[in-house]
Amino acid sequence: RLRELLTNSLRRKIGALEQLPSIPAVYLELNQAMADPNVTNLKMARIIEKDPAMAAKTLQLVNSAAFGLLKQITSLHTAISYLGMDLIKNLSLAVHIFAALEGLGVRSYFSFDTEQQHALIMARVAKRLVTGRRQTQNAYTAALLHDIGKLLLAVCIPEKFVKAQLASKATGRPLHEIEAEMLGITHAEAGAYLLSLWGLPYPIVEAVAYHHNPAAALEKTFDIPTAVAVANALVEEPSGNIPPAIADHLQFLEVIHELPAWTAIANEELQRIPPRNGAVRKYSDSAALLPN
């Protein structure tokens, strides 16, 4: 199903998106460095230093509310020790596209902090919902990159994407539904297509593609697509009131009884972030949309 989506239907939709960004050189260099089991944080820091945007965003993220550190981190070497090498590597993909928003007139509609904090919390939740080292790693990476399609759409069709964001906020309807109607493509589809072009592993691409509709992944047992979808739903709505489509899929997989425990995990991760004005911290699909 996904292979068909990536090769036929989505290729037609993506045809309207010109100048798809190539995979960033810093990602390839970090990936190559990490192939050495003895690679050091210092080596990784020296690679990141070559990319000023990546260096700045790395420090911005480690000093954000997501980590709640008591002291300001100014060293990339120290930042990597807090963030971890996998997070740093995948962060470079989002930074690469985010940088392309500069000068497009839509940059003010996005908060890098908000986007990355949401992704980071989701990743922490998703990896706790699966077992096995490979499954955990893939769930974590897929969650980190699940919304990269938003940035891609903002770069390729900025005016249309902003209209979709505003319509979602005004109506309260999920962004991916509005995108399908107004743009003919969702951020989940766009993100999956880009990650497939960049050669990321199939399980990650699949989870990104179906993070709003895991039933379409045709899973027979609970796997990464559903874990990422559940993590996304619970981070957006910590009460456990997940979308009916996801609840029905959990029922089909016979894991709906796990929902209270998963809800507790999501709330535990959300509590690690200082709330604003005493409010319960949660993230919505339009959380990154900022007022003019």
Contacts of 265 (CB under 8 A, 6+ apart): 125, 128, 129, 234
User: pTM to 2 decimals?
Assistant: 0.83
Where helices occur in 172-218 by DSSP H, the ranges are 175-182, 187-197, 202-209
Q: Spell out, as residue ranges, where the chain has pLDDT lower than 70.
A: 1-19, 101-110, 274-292
| CB-facing half-sphere around the CA of 12: CA atoms within 13 A | 5
Superfamily of domain 1-19+107-292: Hypothetical protein af1432 (1.10.3210.10)
- Do residues 6 and 196 make contact, with C-beta atoms less than 8 angstroms apart? yes
CA 3/CA 5 separation, integer angstroms:
5
Residue intervals of the chain classified under CATH 1.10.3210.10 are: 1-19+107-292
For residue 74, which amino acid is it?
A: T
Please report, for the chain, how many H helices and E strands are present, in that order: 17, 0
pLDDT at 104: 61
pLDDT at 17: 61
pLDDT at 167: 95
Query: What H or E segment, with its residue span, contains residue 107?
Result: none
CA 11/CA 196 separation, integer angstroms:
12
pLDDT in tens, 85-106: 988 898 888 888 777 766 566 6
For residue 139, which amino acid is it?
A: A
pLDDT at 153: 86
